[in-house]
Structure 1
Amino acid sequence: MVRLFTEDLSIVYGEKLIVKDLSVQIPDQKITTIIGPNGCGKSTLLKAITRIIPHHSGSIVLDGKTVSRENTKVLAKKMAILPQTPESASGLTVGELVSYGRFPYQNGFGRLSQKDYEVIDWALEVTGTINFKYLPVDSLSGGQRQRVWIAMALAQETEIIFLDEPTTYLDMAHQLEVLELLQKLNQQEKRTIVMVLHDLNQAARFADYIIALKGGQIVKAGDSNEVISKDVLRNVFQIDAEIGKDPRTNKPMCITYNLLKGEYKK
């Protein structure tokens, strides 16, 4: 089932065409990961779909309606995004930050209802951050802060969550912690997760569907066995990779690689 898709989408930054005529479908209630080299349009695509930036041409459709014409609060009840570098939460407690996720549901007075408080506590419980509720966000570790930002996105009660490089700046243990949390939200809460990742092995391990971008266009889209392959990685990243199997998940795994140094061009 597909609720969200783009048709012939083009996105321009300044005078530069970043994404050109991109048609992509996001599987519902699955984890989709977007991979590709720096500057290929991964983050730009997420921002355009969530209407942070405008698109030049084409369309983005959610539940049969064009996203660009949708009411802002209605859209915020369907999609949440955690950007690559969240805004500073200086001076806020964890509970206060997570409460911002309830903005789409507040009336003109901006007061939190009993339902709002219940959802906030639920989001904190699910992300394992309830014990941090009254602590300053600035006092937490990187992994803890990332879980709190995810809690804020969860508090929006959206069925689709976008994350732009959610593991950036985290150590290996905290990366795994965040990705396992997202997997849990997908499997237990049926949330559709769309995220940008740089680590190919993490993408292969956690994604149901992978989109490989290069130059703003799709090189390959499919499951991990289709995308994490020698030929696709050669085309997208200009590397000669050795692909094996993860002994714990049986998913493909990039064991090692060399730069092609210009002998392969496409």
Structure 2
Amino acid sequence: MGRLYTEDISISYGEKLIVKNLDVVIPDGKITTIIGSNGCGKSTLLKAMTRIIPHQSGSVLLDGKHISKIHTKQLAKEMAILPQTPESVAGLTVGELVSYGRFPHQKGFGKLTKHDIEAIDWALESTNTMEFKDRSVDALSGGQRQRAWIAMALAQETDIIFLDEPTTYLDMAHQLEVLELLQKLNEEQGRTIVMVLHDLNQAARFADYIIAMKDGEVIKAGSPTEILTKDILRKVFQIDAEIGEDPRTNKPICLTYHLIKGEQKNEEVLYANDSNLVATS
């Protein structure tokens, strides 16, 4: 069992049930990616696990404690969250932005201590954003800005970092830049990384563990090799995919695919039958 996990969690927006009775375990010290079609509950699950939104039933536990009962500052010392479209105050410098990551550790009037300053500089160095410390966040490119936000998350000095679609709106080079940075943080510092990604090949390349969701349920969770298969992609996305092997990483890669037209209902019936067989075996 990992440090962070859910037990029978359900999440609703108003009357609409989005996530249904999920049991999810986040592996410690690994990169976990959540995949699935739009509206399947990926971001909703991420937000519930970080207490951004409430869940209606079940539990989210960190080190055996319900996160709802952990003090906000204490929880912020354990996990950091980078939302899908973070926004900063106009004119804020990169150094000022990253300093916000020290808020959970501050007391009294919030004056930065020597350790706070060291943590900020370390986060800037780790993300190669030190040269932008005195520059306005608004003046940065998309990739530079995303690295600055990751630096803020690093300055919190948490073991767990959540990112909701960290490559959104970035070009291919900047996407790779951000994902390689997260991989480096995981490999060199042992950070547990949890992120939502849309690109299947990026998920397979950078993740150790993938959670594949559909309609608020987990279809399957496992290694990239276990998830990036014709059968799983058919069930999750209704696509007929051809899977190969990335010659550089030896990870599975989706070479091409086409939509399965008129077969969705049959696929859902087949999946339900598979689930019943598993449940009764």
**After TM superposition, what 4+ stretches of structure 1 lie above 3 angstroms from structure 2?**
none
Could you tell me how far apart the structure 2 residues matched to 1:129 and 1:66 are? 35
Shift of the alpha carbon at 1:263?
Answer: 1.8
Greater Rg by CA? 2
Q: Which has the higher helix share?
A: 2
Return 5+ residue gaps in structure 2 as ranges: 269-281
Q: Percent identity?
A: 76
Could you tell me how far apart the structure 1 residues matched to 2:88 and 2:104 are? 21
Paired letter, 2:144? Q
Alignment-derived partner of residue 208 in structure 2: 208
Contact 1:11 1:55 in 2 (8 A): yes
Alignment-derived partner of residue 151 in structure 1: 151
Contact 2:88 2:97 in 1 (8 A): no
Shift of the alpha carbon at 1:90?
Answer: 1.5
Alignment-derived partner of residue 110 in structure 2: 110
Secondary structure, aligned partner of 1:158:
coil
- For the pair 1:180 / 2:180, whether they are aligned, the reply is yes
- The residue correspondences of 1:59-78 to structure 2 (distance < 5 A) are 59-78=59-78
Could you tell me how far apart the structure 2 residues matched to 1:179 and 1:4 are? 22
Shift of the alpha carbon at 1:151?
Answer: 0.1
Could you tell me how far apart the structure 1 residues matched to 2:8 and 2:152 are? 32
Alignment-derived partner of residue 229 in structure 1: 229
Any idea what the Cα deviations from partners look like across 1:204-261, whole Å, max 9, x if unmatched? Answer: 0000000000011100100001001000000000100010000101110000000001
Could you tell me how far apart the structure 2 residues matched to 1:65 and 1:168 are? 33
Secondary structure, aligned partner of 1:2:
coil
Shift of the alpha carbon at 1:190?
Answer: 0.3
Shift of the alpha carbon at 1:264?
Answer: 3.7
Shift of the alpha carbon at 1:89?
Answer: 3.5
Q: CA RMSD in A?
A: 0.7
Any idea what the Cα deviations from partners look like across 1:166-214, whole Å, max 9, x if unmatched? Answer: 0000000000000000000000010000000000000000000000000
Secondary structure, aligned partner of 2:24:
strand
Could you tell me how far apart the structure 2 residues matched to 1:88 and 1:260 are? 42
Could you tell me how far apart the structure 2 residues matched to 1:124 and 1:246 are? 32
Secondary structure, aligned partner of 2:23:
strand
Alignment-derived partner of residue 255 in structure 1: 255
Return 5+ residue gaps in structure 1 as ranges: none
Any idea what the Cα deviations from partners look like across 1:78-106, whole Å, max 9, x if unmatched? Answer: 00000001023421000000000000011
Could you tell me how far apart the structure 2 residues matched to 1:30 and 1:189 are? 11
Contact 1:89 1:138 in 2 (8 A): no
Paired letter, 1:106? Q
Alignment-derived partner of residue 239 in structure 1: 239
Secondary structure, aligned partner of 1:77:
helix
Task: Count how many residue pairs are aligned between Structure 1 and Structure 2.
Answer: 266
Paired letter, 1:237? F
Contact 2:9 2:21 in 1 (8 A): yes
Secondary structure, aligned partner of 2:99:
helix
Could you tell me how far apart the structure 2 residues matched to 1:110 and 1:204 are? 41
Could you tell me how far apart the structure 2 residues matched to 1:115 and 1:247 are? 44
Alignment-derived partner of residue 196 in structure 1: 196
Alignment-derived partner of residue 35 in structure 1: 35
Give TM-score scaled by structure 1 length: 0.99
Could you tell me how far apart the structure 2 residues matched to 1:264 and 1:41 are? 19
Alignment-derived partner of residue 122 in structure 1: 122
